[in-house]
Structure 1
Amino acid sequence: MIYINSFFKILIISVLMHLTFCFKNNNQDNLTTISKPDFTVKRGVNISHWLSQSNKNEEERLNYFSEEDMKLIASLGYDHIRLPIDEKNMWDENGIKDTLAFQSLHSAIYWAKNNDLRVIVDLHIVRAHYFNNEYNPLWDDVTEQQKFVNLWRQLSLELKKYPNGLIAYEILNEPVANNAKDWNDLLSETIKEIRLNEPFRTIVLGSNKWQSVDTFQNLKIPEEDSNIILSFHFYSPHVFTHYKAPWSKIGFYNGPIKYPGISINKEDLKEYTKEQISLLEDNVSYSKDFFQDKMQSAIQIAKEYNLQLYCGEFGCFPSTPNKDRMQWYSDIISVFNENNIAWANWDYQGGFGIIDSKTGVINKELIEVLIKDN
């Protein structure tokens, strides 16, 4: 009897070990089998307010974004998502990982892989840095800088199992450092840390001051590292793209607005204070040619380094006149297409969304403009 029990115990253990081995190998095969071996992107969309800028509980998070959404994104013609994550959503104040939040992150990566999409994991906001704050301790507190590098050490160890062709890392969304050197120094230390474990992972770098094209020349790009994508954001002209946006400093303006041309006529500013007018007045005539000229320095730098240029955010708030809004998107996309600039529009179902978050209705007109000739 003892012999029989021992025999069955050994048999059961062997079967379990075999099943575990098969599962792990099948799981690994699923991860590494992807149609494109290198991390290449062309058109994407931001998945905002899910693991970033969100106070959703777990049930709300599960209902907000799912594999069905990922399938829809792929069906619309996108090839990747940019996935913002925040420190406060992924780690508690003691630096302990939120298990459920990390499960959502892993789920998103698997869903993307299953739908032949790539993922850019974007560390969007950390406790020591938010792009809208007047003061960010990240730039002059060594402890916070070490903590930031450690966040990326943890992320790299967590995500390094995924193929280089499936995911990429964006170090920090819209850095607003005191000066370019502060950002370049932190960037260098963070990249060194990531490269210890992942020498070939694609890393997305943006310039200081909100990833503006105007500061591109101050970005220190790692030498002899081809696994880099250079990123900028584009919301010009701000008075047009953020028309009536409630969080914006210019959200108070409710007069006429237009694109192309000068966004606001002087006669429409008479009822506003001098301080308000200083935020709104802009005598530049905006057009596709203006956008081309504005992006030219970034385009040239990317060519010099033979690196992919990427616009990780752009968008126009839907309160703008629809005809003008569609023309703005059309001109931006044309410049991207003509200059081999990959992009991810802001966003999927947030305030700028291609989908109305309340009704779930797809903005087909916007999709047609975004995906045209692409």
Structure 2
Amino acid sequence: MNFPKLFALGAVLLIAQGCQINAKLESNSPAPQVAASVPAETAAKDAFLQVGEMKRGVNVLSEDPGWTDASKARFKPEYFKKIHDAGFSTVRIVLNAFSHMDDYYVLETGYLARLDTMVKAGLDAGLNVILDEHDFNYCSKDTWSCRQKLNAFWAQVAPRYKDASNRLIFEVLNEPHEAFTPEMWNDQIKQTLPIIRASNPTRNVIIGPGFWNSAAYLDKLDLPVPDRHIIVTYHYYAPMEFTHQGSPWVPQYKLTGQNWGSAADLAQLNKDFDVVKAWSNKWNRPILLGEFGAYETAPMDGRLRYTDAVARAAEARGFAWAYWQFDKDFIVYDIAKDQWVEPILNALIPPAAAK
């Protein structure tokens, strides 16, 4: 019987139940060297102030082979400086961590070391860094296992970075949906947030509504009112018939040839964003538009209009935003050519705004 790993699993489960113990999981690998360079960067930061500093972001490292084998990585640490120098303020690091857990939910040492490297490189580049647990598809099918793994993930990751800069932000889970109902998600928040707060009482944490982080489900989101270090996120890909046409993972949206940019399109966008702004005002919660974009097979002229309009609509309402994504699909950076996709970049960040 593997007693060390059984003890580690017990530590995870006890933490998840709110017990005050020193989790042996933290000894899984050496403590990371990602502490803040100045004491002020460890101080509590107002969530609205943080959103104001996050401004413009981009999602990175989605399904990157480097998580398993660094020699095969698409994304390299030096890209963080390129991202910063292009005018971005934030990166959202996409983490599919469940596949890097053993049978006892303990994260691989190599995976944690790779994560340390990315966190440090992002912070050193002057960026805000979001750690986004992104196993949403797994969680939509096997909710029981997902909930155990999600608690185990944060029981290991949150204390690991308890002394890191306040520019490091945690996002509990991306896009809960299907079997992971909004009601179940609210219950999960009540479990997982205390695990994070045990070691990071004032770090800003990102939480979105159920049903794919849909703005339509904001009214169903149940957050702890006294906790003011929460940033609320939503994702926006409407209309899917335009943004996802030709994408292989949603074959119902075939190549429609639908374009975007009419007065009616813009009016609908503003109406949708006004709903989020009204909710933000009502509940006094800052907002991150955590994902948006239009797939490569949509007409390029419409993609540019859409990308620009969504980013400007978010900025006009005081929301931070993060474009989906740096590379792989919806790309703003062509790794093969080692250059920005200038039309998309300029739609996101007009050249004058990047200076």
* TM-score bucket (shorter structure): 0.7 to 0.9
RCO comparison, higher one (Cα < 8 Å, 6+): 2
Which residue number in structure 1 is paired with residue 37 of structure 2? 30
Greater Cα radius of gyration, structure 1 or 2 = 1
Are 2:133 and 2:173, in contact at CA under 8 Å, matched by a contact in 1? Answer: yes
Is the partner of 1:30 in helix, strand or coil? coil
Question: What is residue 308 of structure 2 aligned with on the other side?
Answer: 330
Deviations 1:36-92 (A, max 9, x none): 9734411110003255x888533112xx22222011000000111001111234323
Deviation at 1:255, TM superposition (A): 4.4
* Amino acid in the other structure paired with 2:212: W
Which moved further from structure 2: 115-124 or 241-250? 241-250
Rate the CA distance shift 1:319–1:147 in 2: closer, same or farther, 3 A. closer
- Is residue 60 from structure 1 mapped to residue 72 from structure 2 by the alignment? yes
The aligned counterpart of 1:353 is 331
Please point out which of 212, 219, 222 is paired with 2:221.
Answer: 219
User: Which of 271, 274, 279 is residue 301 of structure 1 equivalent to?
Assistant: 279
Structure 2: which 5+ residue stretches go unaligned?
1-30
Query: Does the 8 A contact of 1:288 with 1:332 survive in 2?
Result: no
Matched, 1:99 2:109: yes
CA distances 1:265-318 after superposition (whole Å, capped 9, x unpaired)? xxxxxxxxxxxxxxxxxxxx8522211211222211212232211110001112
1:113 aligns with 2:149: no
Higher deviation after alignment, 213-222 or 36-45:
36-45
What is the CA-CA distance between 1:112 and the residue it aligns to? Answer: 1.5
CA distance in 1, matches of 2:72, 2:99: 13
The alpha carbon displacement at 1:199 in A equals 0.8
The residue that corresponds to 2:157 in the other structure is 155
The secondary structure found in structure 2 opposite 1:246 is coil
When residues 29 and 355 of structure 1 are mapped into structure 2, their CA distance, relative to the original with a 3 A threshold, is closer
Give the superposed CA RMSD: 2.6
The one-character-per-residue Cα deviations of 1:93-127 (angstroms, maximum 9, x if unpaired) are: 44232222211211111111211101110000068
Gaps of 5+ in 1: 1-23, 131-135, 262-284
Distance 1:59 1:31, change over 3 A: farther
Check 1:80–1:257 CA distance in 2 against 1; reply closer, same or farther (3 A cut). Answer: same
One-letter amino acid matched to 1:137: D
Pick from 61, 81, 94: which aligns with 1:48?
A: 61
For residues 191-236 of structure 1, give each alpha carbon's deviation from its aligned partner in whole angstroms, at most 9, with x where no partner exists.
1121122110111011000001111110012212111101000111
Structure 1 partner of 2:16: none
Letter in 1 for 2:195: E
SS of residue paired to 2:234: strand
- In structure 1, what residue type is equivalent to 2:234? F
Find the partner of 1:72 among 82, 94, 104. 82
Aligned ranges for residues 1-374 of structure 1 at < 5 Å? 28=35, 30=37, 32=39, 38=45, 39=50, 40-50=53-63, 57-61=69-73, 64-125=74-135, 128-130=138-140, 136-138=141-143, 141=144, 144-163=146-165, 165-176=166-177, 178=179, 179-251=181-253, 253-261=254-262, 286-372=264-350
User: For 2:337, what is the secondary structure of its paired residue?
Assistant: coil
Read off the aligned partner of 2:117 and give its amino acid letter: S
Partner amino acid for 1:175? P
- Secondary structure of 1:67's counterpart equals coil
Give 2:19's aligned residue: none
Aligned to 2:304, the other structure's residue is in SS state helix
